[in-house]
A = this chain, B = another copy of it.
Amino acid sequence: MTDVTRLDLGSDIVDLTAAICDIHSVSGDEAELADAVEAALAGAAHLATIRDGNTVIARTDLGRDERVVLAGHLDTVPLTDPPNLPTRVESGPEGPELWGRGTVDMKGGVAVQLRLAHLLEAPNRDITFVFYDCEEVEAERNSLTRIGSTRPELLEGDFAVLLEPTRALVEGGCKGTLRAEVTTRGVAAHSGRPWMGENAIHAAAPILTRLAEYTPREVDVDGLLYREGMSAVGIEGGIATNVIPDSCTVSVNYRFAPDIDEAAAEAHVRELFDGFEVTITDSAGGARPGLDRPAALAFVEAIGGEVSAKQGWTDVARFSALGVPAVNFGPGDPLLAHKDDERCPLDQLRAAEQALLRWLGGESTAHAAPPE
């Protein structure tokens, strides 16, 4: 490792977030940031640090009764053009905000993890910090998938917190997601003689009608309300402007509540599009919020505030699949993730840091009263 960028974990959470955002780390290009994280943690005697690809895992081993996992991904989606970095602070409707790629998804969360790793030399629970790469791309490149399969013991714990943006409120579980292609077939012909063919786009009318008339379920799971969605996310058909199209494909994304599994979700989609050719292209199960588990209840009690259902799919489902109940909790508004105007209120960075410090038995530093 040469020329590693230095991250000062003793600095304020806002400055640390900005410094992390300013190290570009679009998916697949996380080496510089992973090096910086590894180097920053190397000096901490209370942590054992493991490097696996561009994933860094740091663990306390204090023999506590409980172990919790705090996980966050190092990568971001691509920058805007011109680039929305370096970060800058601007005033917002409710106070100053940090602007730039990653401020929401999710380098604010990564900064909170690093601050906790630095400050919590003797936490009340053992902690595994996971900093992983390639979350914003296909599931097979996601390092949490790889490590969950090759070294699952590193992800074990009684409870996990994924520091994805939730406006520093607890969001439990997540919905599942399934993608299907619903296809019609026809017979090509010259459009001057359409009766010689069979129009596959016209044949797709009932597919769109069923989608337009679909009423999504709203499901209560462990006290949280999950709203489903059945959405066309793409449609494609046509050969040339003078040819009757011989096929038309509607791409459908079903977001399902965690009371059903992937197989049930698939059966529902196949039933909805009965009579059409349906190909499942991708699916991932959801995660129940697990708020009936003692570790989860203790977390919610310590953090306080509103608890709601996570409507998007997140890696909490990977922990759920490993038998580890998990919630989402991190700074930033998820609606601003990936957006050109991605930005995070400074207060949310501070609130997330303080809440987790409180839960894990650390001293509050940022808001400590000045010496008398």
- B-contacting residues of A (Cβ < 8 Å)? 175, 177, 179, 190-196, 199, 201-205, 208-209, 211-212, 216, 227, 229, 231-245, 248, 250-251, 253, 255, 282, 311-313, 335
Contact = CB atoms under 8 A, between A and B. Distances in A.
Given A201-B250, A204-B208, A212-B202, A193 B232 contact: no
Given A191-B253, A195-B229, 9 more contacts: A191-B255, A192-B313, A193-B229, A203-B212, A204-B208, A209-B209, A233-B239, A233-B243, A236-B238
Protomer copies: 2
Q: Interface majority SS on A: helix, strand, loop or mixed?
A: mixed
Contact of A194 (B193, B231, B251, B335): B231
Q: Which of A233, A312, A335 has the most CB of B within 10 A?
A: A233
21 contacts: A191-B231, A192-B312, A193-B312, A194-B229, A195-B229, A196-B335, A199-B231, A199-B232, A201-B208, A202-B211, A202-B212, A202-B231, A202-B232, A208-B208, A232-B238, A233-B241, A233-B242, A235-B235, A235-B238, A235-B248, A238-B251
Contact of A235 (B201, B243, B251): B201
A253 B248 contact: no
The 6 A-B pairs at the shortest CB distance, nearest first, are namely A234-B238, A205-B208, A192-B312, A201-B232, A194-B229, A202-B212
A139 B253 CA distance: 41
A131 B179 CA distance: 54
A56 to B, nearest CB: 27
Contacts of A199: 211-212, 231-232
Contacts of A243: 233
A144 to B, nearest CB: 18
Contacts of A238: 232-236, 251
Nearest to A197: B231
Contacts of A192: 175, 177, 229, 255, 311-313
Contact of A237 (B195, B212, B235, B311): B235
